[in-house]
Every structure is written in C-alpha cells, then in structure tokens.
Amino acid sequence: MDHTIVTTEIDLDDTPVVTVDLDIMERNIRRFQAVCAEAGVKLRPHIKTHKIPAIAHKQLEAGAAGIACQKLGEAEVMQAAGIEDITLTYNVVGKAKLERLVRLAGRCDLKVVCDNRAVADGLSVAFQEAGTRLKVLVECDTGAGRNGAQSPLDAAELAAYVAGKPGLSFAGLMTYPITAHTAGFFAEAYKELDRRGLKAQIVSTGGTPALGLLRDVPGVTEHRAGTYVFNDRKCVESGVATWDDCAMRIRSTVVSRPAKNRAIIDAGSKTLSSDLLALDGHGRIVEYPGAKIAKLNEEHGVVLLEDGAPAPEVGEVVTIIPNHTCVVTNLHDRLVGVRGGKVETVWDVAARGLVR
Amino acid sequence: MDHTIVTTEIDLDDTPVVTVDLDIMERNIRRFQAVCAEAGVKLRPHIKTHKIPAIAHKQLEAGAAGIACQKLGEAEVMQAAGIEDITLTYNVVGKAKLERLVRLAGRCDLKVVCDNRAVADGLSVAFQEAGTRLKVLVECDTGAGRNGAQSPLDAAELAAYVAGKPGLSFAGLMTYPITAHTAGFFAEAYKELDRRGLKAQIVSTGGTPALGLLRDVPGVTEHRAGTYVFNDRKCVESGVATWDDCAMRIRSTVVSRPAKNRAIIDAGSKTLSSDLLALDGHGRIVEYPGAKIAKLNEEHGVVLLEDGAPAPEVGEVVTIIPNHTCVVTNLHDRLVGVRGGKVETVWDVAARGLVR
C-alpha cells in the first residue's frame, strides 16, 4: 500500500518547503533496524515523527514489528492505512476517546499504556461493555520525571490491578526514555511481578538517543524510536547521528540583509517550531554552518552571520537542519521526498494536528 | 459572507480543544477599534492570529480599514473570502511568489512592503511585465533589530528607488513594533522624504502591546494588530489585557497524577507550541493559577502543583490561557467558538500552515 502522490510540480525554490532526502531516510531505516536486530530487540517505530502512513509502511517492510502512536487520532489514521500492530503510548481518558478506542481495537492488534488506576478503570468499563479484552502495558517512570508508575512496587501493583480488571489483560511494561535508572527499575519490577504471579510479555523502551543504552537494560523485548527516520540537530548533538544522516532539510529563502551581520530568512516558528531542546539557536544552516539562527518570529528567522565569512544574499535559498523534526512535520500539510536533489514524492502529513 | 460551520456535535470534553469565547472576542474587537478611532488612526487587523476569514469579516464590520497578512498564502485565502483591502507585510521573493502576487493584486487593493533593492527589483520586473502598478510601503527597522531599512536616510533612499521603478509606486512607511526610537525615526524619515519630493501617504505601525505608544508617534495613519482579537498570557503580562480579556482557552484533560506535586495534561507542544516569549512556564491554568506548566513534550504538559493547594484529579478538564495565541491557532485545523460555555460555531483555520 502506497499513499504517496507522485508529482513534478513542486518548486523547491518556492520556500519554505520541508524536504526529506529519500536515500538518507531509507539508510536510516535500514541502519536502525539492523542495530535493533543485533541487540536482539524488535523495533517499533514511533510514527509521531512523520505522521505519514507510507513511511510507516517502509519501516514495516524493513522489519519493524509494528508501530507506536502517541495519540488516538494518529493510531486511527495508521490503522485506516492498513497497519495492523499498533501500540498507543498514551493514557486514554474520557468517554469519546474510549468509544473510539474500542472501535480501533476491533480493527487491529492494539496495545495501550496506562499508569494509574483511574485510567485502568475507564479502559475496563469500556472494554467490558464491548465484550472484548484490551492488552495494557504499565507505563513506568524510570527517571524521566514525566508520567508513569513511580516505583517498581507501584508498577507491579498497577499490573496486578490491571490483570484483575474485567476487559483488560496485563501485557507488560513500557518506559520512556532509557535512563541510568531504567535497568535497576525493571530488574526490581520483574521480581515484584513474579511475586504476584505475573510476567511482562512485552518490555518496551523508547527514544532515538537511547539506542546506545539498550544493551544495559535486561529483558527488553522491543524498542520504540521516532526521530531516527529523519534525524535532526538534537540527534547529532547527542552523538547518535551525523549531519549526513539528517534526512529532513527545510529550504528557506533569504528575504533581507538589513545589516552586515544579519540575514532574515522566510522560515520562522510557524515553519521550524520554537523548540530549542537546550540547543543554542534554532537550526543549522548547512551552507553557512557558522551562522546562527538566533531568533524566530512567526514567519521570520533572524540569522546572525559570522564576521568575515561568506554570507548569503537576498534571494538565495539555504538549507536548514531543524532542531527537532517531529514538531516540524506537525506544522506542515506536506513533506516533499527528494532523491539526488529531484522531487520524487509528495506526502500528505495524514495525521498532522491530530492531538486528540 | 460567513464561512462558519454551525454544529452542536463538538464535545468540549474531548480534549485538547481550542475554544474562543465569542463574547470576549467581540468585546476585544469593539474595544481595540474604539481605541484606534480615539487615537485618530485606522485599524488594520493582522489576521495571522486567527487565519479565519469569518473573524476578519467581523473585524471589518466593526470598522477596520482592511487587513494585514504575513504570508502570501494567507492573503490569497482572505481575498478569496471576499476581503478587498490587504497589506502584505512581508518581502516577496522568488519567481513563483511574484506570479501569485501579480494575480492577487489584480483581484484586490493590495499593498506590499519591501526593505531592500533586490526585493524592489523583483517586484518591479513582475509588475512591469504585467502592465500594472503595485503600491509599496518601505519597511523600517525602528528599533526591533529584525528587518527593515536601518536608518531614516536608508528608508528615504529606498522610497526614492521604489518611486523610480517601473511597475511600482511608493505608498508609505511601515514598521513593527513601536519602540522608543520609532517617533524619532519617522520624524527624520519624513524630512528625508520631503527633500526627495516624496510623501508617505500611509504610515503603518504594528503590535498589540504597542497600542499605548501610538500617540507618541507623529504622522501614523494606521495601526496593525493581531493578538488583541484573542489576547493571551503575553498580553496580560504586558499590561494591555486582563485575564478576563483572554478569549482563547485550551481545554485539556489531566491524564496522570504520577506524584503529589505533579500532574500531566494532554496538551503539549503540538497543542500549545513551545513559545515562551520570555514568560515563566507554558500557559496559565485558569482553575489552578498557582500551578506551573513547567515543561512540554509533544503531547504531554508537565504541571507542577502548589504545595497544599487544591489539585486536579485524573479525568478533570482544565482550561489554559496560552502564552501566544497566534502559534496555537496555527497548530489546529479548527477553533471552536463558544458563548456562555456552549458551542456556537466551529471555524476551519483556513490559512493554517500557509507559510508560503
């Protein structure tokens, strides 16, 4: 199944335009798949990075075991595009979403996370009424300080609670990302589960930068990663990719050179997002690596140029590697797939904006 | 002309959902219009804040002189919705956009800014070829350090350059925002224009927070403002609005309470954007004003709760006033207009994502 639109009508100089180098993307997909295979874990790509069914299918064809989605709307789009194995790594709360979740679970092999009893109660009522059973992973906070059960004991007790609930079955443990505490947390959680006669069939870790830590965590069965498919400035700064591994590039035009050391580009926060991720500046300009995208307004990028270095003129198109690909994708209705600098594919970002 | 969709099928508890209180919005529109009238300047609302033709029409019906757009795609959408007086406050660069600009200028009363000769040259060639004439405002950097002519002399010289170009006519001066230097810059620019036999028919200033400075700037004929229609946390912190003037509210559900002082809400950076605008935290929770939205991941908001204060439980829906409305609008396909807490209107964000 291929949802791509083939076109030659895209003008890559009509900027800003978000491009994906297909050779790089395909290499990223193969490479990450190989690393996971070597580590003996399944890869479950997180589609929040691209939100495009055709790319998810490429990941599955390369050997991925299924996909992860962050919101129900993403999962619905991916299921409708023929994807059969989906894990929704988000607490589902509220009547409207529970009804949708029941329908979705009837159409694919669905797993959902849960980190508290109120969420488990809601899932249980919905699936008991539907007369079916939902596989539930217990989300664990193994050091990130976001959500998840706060201790191995809490995780095991929630697992037992889930296992005892009508309409639910306990399927395993999930965490994001891998930290220095993850291995210890899980080792202890396995013991607590064992004491309750339970076993985590699935142990799911996540994060592109965390790949190097995967071997340190005992019992992991699958790893979820999103950004690896495109890579970005954060990945390079984290040491898990090189600039040459960055498939997503935003083409942007210099629209003003108001001062000697300042250029204004047509990519602002509505194109690049304002995510800094603790980096200095808002992206890397490939042709002028010493320049700094110092500030973003909505449609303006303010670039500080290096003293004495070559500088772009008004009308010049530059290429930006963004700080964070996942949020760039979500700003744009389409991404343009290029190969050897030529347009090969235009994808609709089918799950763009689906925050529900 | 009204492009609204009337529906009662929106579930305000299916979150995150972006609502606009219509009573507050209508009051904001009337009030800002009155303040501009009192100051003796025309109001030209900037539609980047809402990107919705029906709201632009409300602003025009209240007395606005026309609208401002930041990107060509926004202007095309607004013109197609019947709006006749449009100023595009952005340098237009590149063949594809110049062709579109010529077509657009044939359909409405269009003004465009320009801050350098290369942009003027491009506009001139396109409009000379088309056999028509474009009204051009010279953009001035009166203290913001973004783009614009850097001095009154530069502005006047560019105005003379524009006036001498086939296909173009010099229509006036434009700046954003108003700073302590704006009055002095413009006073000097008027003298320099006068020396060249030119006059700025239009002098256009911008910015919602700048309204209080409007009377200090001599010769202003119109003011462009966007955010005032909704207002946001930045407006309140700037002293130009109260919390009760904030029409946009994001409804969000608490999906986890992993720790005593921590709640996780279903609004992350893909719902609220990561714009901080130098504020502390990512928005104000109306029901828990002492809580802080300390961190956003893409779909998670991490809320730090006050010690000893009431705290929301899992499943509770809270209401958020965002830091920056304009970027929130751009993340969502629809905004929901409510009155007295009931859904009255659902708008498509018609110009969402139109960064070209």
**pLDDT-derived band at A215, boundaries 50, 70, 90:** confident
End-to-end CA distance of chain B: 25
Question: Cβ contact (<8 Å) for B96 and A14?
Answer: yes
pLDDT at residue A3 is higher than 80: no
Q: Would you place residue B353 in the very low, low, confident or very high pLDDT band (cuts 50, 70, 90)? A: very high
> Which of A17, A122, A270 is closest, CB to CB, to B330?
A270
Q: Residue A169's pLDDT is what?
A: 98
The number of beta carbons lying within 10 Å of the beta carbon of residue B289 is: 12
Please determine, for residue B5, whether its predicted confidence score (pLDDT) is greater than 90: no
Say what the pLDDT of residue A5 is: 46
Three-state DSSP state, A285 = strand
For testing the chain B interface, which of A9, A125, A255 should be mutated: the one with the most B CBs within 10 Å?
A255
Tell me: the pLDDT tens digits for A293-318? 999 999 999 999 999 999 999 999 99
pLDDT at A209: 86
Does A266 contact B at CB distance below 8 Å?
yes
The per-residue pLDDT of chain B, averaged, comes to 96
Within an 8 Å CB–CB cutoff, is residue B337 touching chain A?
A: no
pLDDT band at B7 (very low <50, low <70, confident <90, very high): very low
108-137 of B, contacting A, C-beta below 8 A: 115-116, 118-119, 122
The whole-number average pLDDT for the span A208-214 is 86
Check if B278 contacts A (Cβ < 8 Å).
no
> Residues of chain B with pLDDT > 90: what percent?
95
**B27-54 pLDDT, tens digit each:** 999 999 999 999 999 999 999 999 999 9
Pairwise CB contact (< 8 Å): A94 & B14: yes
Q: B314 and A95: CB-CB below 8 Å?
A: no
Residue of B nearest to A13 (CA): B94
pLDDT category, A7, cuts 50, 70, 90?
Answer: very low
pLDDT digits (tens, 9 = 90+) for A50-60: 999 999 999 99
Segment B55-105, tens digit of pLDDT: 999 999 999 999 999 999 999 999 999 999 999 999 999 999 999 999 999
Residue B282 contacts A where some CB pair is shorter than 8 Å: no
CA distance A90 to chain B (A): 9
DSSP H/E element including A129? helix A117-130
Read off the pLDDT of residues B160-175 as tens digits, 9 standing for 90 and up. 999 999 999 999 999 9
pLDDT averaged over chain A? 96
Q: Which two tokens stand for residue A159?
A: 């697992």
Distance separating alpha carbons of residues B189 and B175, to the nearest angstrom:
12
Give bridge partners of residue B203 from the DSSP assignment.
B173
Under an 8 A CB cutoff, do A13 and B259 touch? no
| Confidence category of residue A96, pLDDT binned at 50, 70, 90 | very high
Spatial separation of the C-alpha atoms in residues B47 and A146, rounded to whole Å = 36
> What's the CA gap between A189 and B243, in Å, rounded?
46
pTM equals 0.96
B142 touching chain A per CB within 8 A: no
User: What tens digit of pLDDT does each residue of B208-229 get?
Assistant: 988 888 889 999 999 999 999 9
In Å, how far are A151, A160, A165, B90, B182 from A200, measured between CA atoms? Answer: 16, 11, 17, 57, 66
B272-284 tens-digit pLDDT:
999 999 999 999 9
Residue A9's pLDDT is 81
Distance from CA of A196 to the nearest CA of B (A): 22
**pLDDT tens digits, residue range A119-172?**
999 999 999 999 999 999 999 999 999 999 999 999 999 999 999 999 999 999
Report how far apart, in Å, the C-alpha atoms of B314 and of each of A169, A234, B299, B303 are: 21, 32, 16, 13
ipTM of the modeled complex = 0.96
Q: How far is CA B40 from the centre of its chain?
A: 21
Instruction: Give the per-residue pLDDT at A210.
Output: 86
Taking residues B242-267, report their average pLDDT.
98
Distances (CA, A) of B176 to A98, A139, B39, B227, B352: 47, 48, 18, 14, 23
Q: All domains of chain A, ordered by start, with CATH?
A: 23-230 (3.20.20.10), 234-323 (2.40.37.20)
Taking the CA atoms of residue A175, residue A180, residue A181 and residue A183 in that order, the dihedral angle to the nearest 10 degrees is: 70
- Cβ–Cβ contact B273 with A under 8 A: yes
In Å, how far is A91's CA from the nearest CA of chain B? 6
Q: Does A332 have pLDDT greater than 60? A: yes
Report the residue count for chain A. 356
A151 reaches B (C-beta below 8 A): no
Q: Are A59 and A66 in contact (CB under 8 A)?
A: no
Tell me what pLDDT residue B262 has: 97
Res. B238 pLDDT band, cuts 50 70 90? very high
